[in-house]
Structure 1
């Protein structure tokens, strides 16, 4: 069971990246369009802060599941998630009915940084939180 959990957590970042790519290939109102255009725009703009923070968290969860999470790998995961945010914005610029802006990239990176500092504080300084739970659940002992 531990092996299945570990493999699943290891594959989740890749699966999430594929999902982001596919959703970015579609018009922004394909999945959800809220009744109020103001609310719809606000929610979709706010999702930039969350979307790549989730990717970063999935990367570090995969490292934690394999007992390889270090401060250096956490930083590398933050850089990778940020770069994927940039690539995703470039990709969107080629999709009809989608746009890409520098402010979207900034929001993507701010979200990643918030998640990165959360992990730095809770995991590396305090040794608590979901990453320590993942390590315990995947412990081979």
Structure 2
């Protein structure tokens, strides 16, 4: 969350700027999906590591990540050289929802899937 906040506080070209502006913009716009999917995944891993990953924790992780995406967009509205748009907020939420449905399908709906088994192993490893 701190990394998202810090990066949102900087101009969009502070870290890297690609020579082709269209490619640069496309990659940076797609990062909305990726960074909030990662945030959701890290929250899920925190629940797994503490042996508390339930269906309610699953929903809570998604809500926290989505809510933080909205907070980040509001934050960007007050940062010079940044903008806050509804489209960006929707991209943040879409990244979370994609991961949410993957976890829902693999962990809860198919408990014997490879991803579900890996998540269980991680939970056992982290709690030992």
The answer for the alignment partner of 1:10 in structure 2 is none
* Root-mean-square deviation over aligned CA pairs: 1.1
Instruction: Decide which of 28, 32, 35 is 1:51's aligned counterpart.
Output: 35
User: How many residue pairs align between the two structures?
Assistant: 124
Query: Which structure 1 residue ranges, 5 or more long, are not aligned?
Result: 1-16
Q: Give the distance between the partners of 1:119 and 1:132, measured in 2 at CA.
A: 12
Instruction: Decide which of 25, 48, 53 is 1:64's aligned counterpart.
Output: 48
Query: Which structure 2 residue ranges, 5 or more long, are not aligned?
Result: none
Residue 116 of structure 1 pairs with residue 100 of structure 2: yes
Instruction: Decide which of 79, 96, 99 is 1:95's aligned counterpart.
Output: 79
Normalised by the length of structure 2, the TM-score is 0.92
Residue 106 of structure 1 pairs with residue 90 of structure 2: yes
1:72-106 per-residue CA deviation (whole Å, 9 max, x = no partner) reads: 11101101100000000000010011001000000
Structure 1 position 138, deviation (Å): 2.1
Q: Give the distance between the partners of 1:123 and 1:108, measured in 2 at CA.
A: 22
The answer for the alignment partner of 1:137 in structure 2 is 125
Normalised by the length of structure 1, the TM-score is 0.84
Residue 75 of structure 1 pairs with residue 79 of structure 2: no
Structure 1 position 131, deviation (Å): 2.0
Structure 1 position 133, deviation (Å): 2.9
